[in-house]
Structure formats: structure tokens, C-alpha cells
């Protein structure tokens, strides 16, 4: 891959600026700290820049606790702005560029030393040419020593960047995952729904949406406590994930409510899948492990809606939600669908 010189210079400038800030204030090289300082170096979010400028202007170093708080405010919350999301993507791209620059630098210095050795080996051992050889050999030795130091620095920087990238990827996965169930969270669900809808429009293929929740969950939670309630949520999440075909997205939509994006499925196929999921959940037999008492019949209600090309996604979600409430009103533990013109 060829790197444009201006891009390479800019990537290295950002990297060095971030490292300088972190070193000046004694901050650890963690992904969260790096991400905040990188956003500051890019100066793309005026509010974050202003907050850090105020902290830097004070006579003491910027506390790492402030950096953590800024990360929570600007990166971790669900109200994360589009500018900050773009900054995170840009950061990953810049780190990729820097890694390649460092790798190329390592190859170049090693190649230079090897080339000098080959030249020295081919020259005659006497006469004026020998003086040139001695000079080249001496220069080579100096260059090799510098190269070894440079390569050590390159390896240190490369290792640091690889660690940062891994941490950033882990942070991204964590930010999109519901910690109780391991499913996608609502923010990730909305992103996956947008992607699936765009693909459906581009390829003129069908897509369906399921929204479900646990029947009488509040009463169950009140009667058995939050630990049992959490266990029930995990069982339903596992059943939903088990039922879905490859390429689908299962998410915890909120509380005891779940959603699934089903690319390539018609509304009829989605209804059949939803009913299999409902049956699977109803087959579970749960007991309180501390008392060995049966918890009772577990069931879910599911609403299904098929995507209509160019439809607003808010309308699609509203129709699936309406179908869910139709299932609830009809007696629970069943599947209902919301059909409009264009659905089959």
C-alpha cells in the first residue's frame, strides 16, 4: 500500500502530539487516554478542545481522572455525537498509517546496512579503493549501531500502537454489547438496522424485524427478585440467539424487550422463525437454585414487521411494536405481524 506523504506526515504529527501530551502530564498509554488526546489533537470537537485547553492552562498537570471523565462524556455515552464517532474511525485509520510507516522505516534501515556490506565485500582489498572500503565499513558500523537503536524504537512504538488498536477495538465491542446478555445493545441494533435497510434497498431484497418482550416480567421480577429476573432475561436472550439464522442481528432493545434484524427474510418467513423462538422459550423449565422451587411458565410475545423499501426506520419499528402489543392484547405467548401494502 502506498502512503501519500502528506497523509504520512499528518499521521506522524498527530501521533507525536498525542504522545507528547501524555508524557507531559504523566498519563498511561491506555486506549481511553489516547483516544481523548487524539480527539484533542485533531481539534474536531470544539467543546472537548475547550475543556482540555482550560485544564492545560492551569499551573498543574492535567489529572488522568479528568481524561477518564472526558472519555465517559464524549465517547462512552449513548448520546455520542457524529463528530466523535468519526474521530474514532479516523483514529483507527491514522494508527494503521503509522504502523506501516514504522514497518517501512525498519525495512529501509536494514536494507541500507545490508547493501553497504555487499559493496564492501566486492571491492579489492588494496590501493586507493581500499581506503574507500575502510571509510564505507566505518560508516556502516556507525549506521548499523544507529539502525539497531532506531529499530528498537520502532518496535517499541509499533508494540504501543498495536496495543492501543487492540484496546480501541475491545472498547468499541464493549460499547456495542449488552453486558448481561452478550447481545448487541440498542445503539448497535439501530446501526445494524440502518445497514440492513440500506442493503435491502440496494439489492431489492426483503428484510424483516422482530420485537419481543417477556410476558408478565414485572410480576416475575417482583415475586422472585432481580437475580432471577436477570437469569430469565439471559435464558430468553440465549433462545433468541439460538433461533436466528446467520447474518441476523439479535439485540437487547431495553429492559426485558428484545429485537432481531432479519436480512433476506420475508414477513412470512420471519413469522415462522418468531414462532419457533416463542416455542423454544416456552419449553424452558426454570427453578430457583436456592429453594429448588419452579419459577413457573416462561413465555414471550413477538411482533413482526416486514421492511418496505424507502420506509422510515422509525415507522418500521413502530409497526413491529404495534404488532407486539397486538400479541399481548390477544392473550400473550404468541406472534402477531403488522402487514401493509408491499408485504407478502
Query: Residues 297, 200: one domain?
Result: yes
Residue where one domain finishes, among candidates 114, 144, 174:
174
Helix (H, G, I), strand (E, B) or coil at 42: helix
Neighbours of 218 (CB within 10 A): 11
Enumerate the active-site residues: 256
CB-based contact 295:287 (threshold 8 Å): yes
Q: Is residue 180 part of a domain?
A: no
Query: Residues 87, 59: one domain?
Result: yes
DSSP secondary structure of 257-300: EEEEEEET--HHHHHHHHHHHHHHHHT---B-TTT--B-----E
Query: Residues 54, 168: one domain?
Result: yes
- Map grid coordinates 514504522 to a residue: 102
Query: Residues 52, 144: one domain?
Result: yes
Kindly report, residue by residue over 223-234, the tens digit of the pLDDT: 889 999 999 999
pLDDT at 152 over 80: no
pLDDT at 303 over 50: yes
pLDDT, greater one: 119 or 238:
238
CA 261 to chain centre: 18
Query: Residues 294, 198: one domain?
Result: yes
Query: Residues 282, 311: one domain?
Result: yes
- pLDDT given at position 147: 60
Helix (H, G, I), strand (E, B) or coil at 146: helix
- pLDDT given at position 249: 94
Q: Is residue 271 part of a domain?
A: yes
Q: Is residue 343 part of a domain?
A: no
Query: Residues 146, 262: one domain?
Result: no
Distance CA 244, CA 264 (A): 12
Query: Residues 155, 46: one domain?
Result: yes
Q: Tell me how many domains the chain contains.
A: 2
Query: Residues 158, 193: one domain?
Result: no
Q: Is residue 97 part of a domain?
A: yes
Domain housing 200: 186-338
- Map grid coordinates 420485537 to a residue: 211
Residue 305: phi and psi, rounded to 5, are -140, 140
User: Is this prediction's pTM over 0.75?
Assistant: no
Residue where one domain finishes, among candidates 174, 202, 218:
174
Residue where one domain finishes, among candidates 141, 174, 207:
174
Q: Is residue 181 part of a domain?
A: no
Neighbours of 295 (CB within 10 A): 16
- Map grid coordinates 410480576 to a residue: 219
**What average pLDDT does this structure show over 159-168?**
71
- pLDDT given at position 34: 81
Query: Residues 213, 162: one domain?
Result: no
Q: Is residue 344 part of a domain?
A: no
Kindly report, residue by residue over 334-344, the tens digit of the pLDDT: 999 987 654 55
Q: What is the CATH number of the domain that holds 305?
A: 3.30.70.270
Query: Residues 267, 214: one domain?
Result: yes
Query: Residues 125, 15: one domain?
Result: yes
Q: Is residue 79 part of a domain?
A: yes
Q: Is residue 298 part of a domain?
A: yes
**What average pLDDT does this structure show over 125-152?**
56
Amino acid at each position: 500500500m502506498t502512503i501519500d506523504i502528506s497523509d504520512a506526515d499528518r499521521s506522524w504529527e498527530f501521533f507525536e502530539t498525542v504522545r507528547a501530551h501524555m508524557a507531559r502530564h504523566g498519563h498511561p498509554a491506555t486506549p481511553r487516554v489516547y483516544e481523548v488526546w487524539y480527539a484533542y489533537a485533531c481539534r474536531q470537537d470544539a467543546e472537548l478542545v475547550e475543556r482540555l485547553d482550560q485544564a492545560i492552562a492551569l499551573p498543574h498537570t492535567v489529572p488522568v481522572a479528568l481524561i477518564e471523565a472526558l472519555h465517559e462524556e464524549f465517547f462512552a455515552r449513548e448520546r455520542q455525537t457524529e463528530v466523535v464517532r468519526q474521530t474514532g474511525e479516523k483514529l483507527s485509520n491514522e494508527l494503521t498509517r503509522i504502523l506501516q510507516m514504522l514497518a517501512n522505516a525498519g525495512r529501509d534501515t536494514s536494507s541500507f546496512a545490508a547493501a553497504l556490506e555487499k559493496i564492501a565485500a566486492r571491492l579489492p582489498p588494496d590501493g586507493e579503493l581500499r581506503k574507500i572500503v575502510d571509510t564505507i565499513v566505518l560508516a556502516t558500523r556507525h549506521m548499523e549501531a544507529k539502525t539497531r537503536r532506531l529499530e528498537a524504537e520502532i518496535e517499541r512504538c509499533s508494540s504501543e500502537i498495536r496495543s492501543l488498536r487492540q484496546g480501541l477495538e475491545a472498547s468499541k465491542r464493549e460499547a456495542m454489547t449488552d453486558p448481561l446478555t452478550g447481545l448487541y445493545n440498542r445503539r448497535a441494533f439501530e446501526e445494524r438496522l440502518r445497514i440492513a435497510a440500506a442493503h435491502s434497498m440496494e439489492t431489492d431484497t426483503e428484510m424483516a424485524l422482530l420485537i419481543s418482550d417477556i410476558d408478565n416480567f414485572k410480576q416475575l421480577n417482583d415475586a422472585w427478585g432481580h437475580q432471577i429476573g436477570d437469569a430469565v432475561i439471559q435464558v430468553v436472550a440465549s433462545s433468541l440467539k439460538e433461533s436466528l439464522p446467520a447474518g441476523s442481528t439479535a439485540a437487547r432493545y431495553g429492559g426485558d424487550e428484545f429485537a432481531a434484524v432479519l436480512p433476506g427474510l420475508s414477513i412470512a418467513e420471519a413469522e415462522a422463525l418468531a414462532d419457533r423462538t416463542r416455542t423454544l422459550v416456552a419449553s424452558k423449565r426454570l427453578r430457583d437454585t436456592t429453594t429448588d422451587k419452579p419459577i413457573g411458565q416462561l413465555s414471550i410475545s413477538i411482533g413482526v414487521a416486514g421492511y418496505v423499501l424507502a420506509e422510515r426506520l422509525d415507522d418500521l419499528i413502530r409497526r413491529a411494536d404495534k404488532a407486539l402489543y397486538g400479541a399481548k392484547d390477544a392473550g400473550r405467548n404468541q406472534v402477531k405481524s403488522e402487514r401493509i401494502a408491499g408485504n407478502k
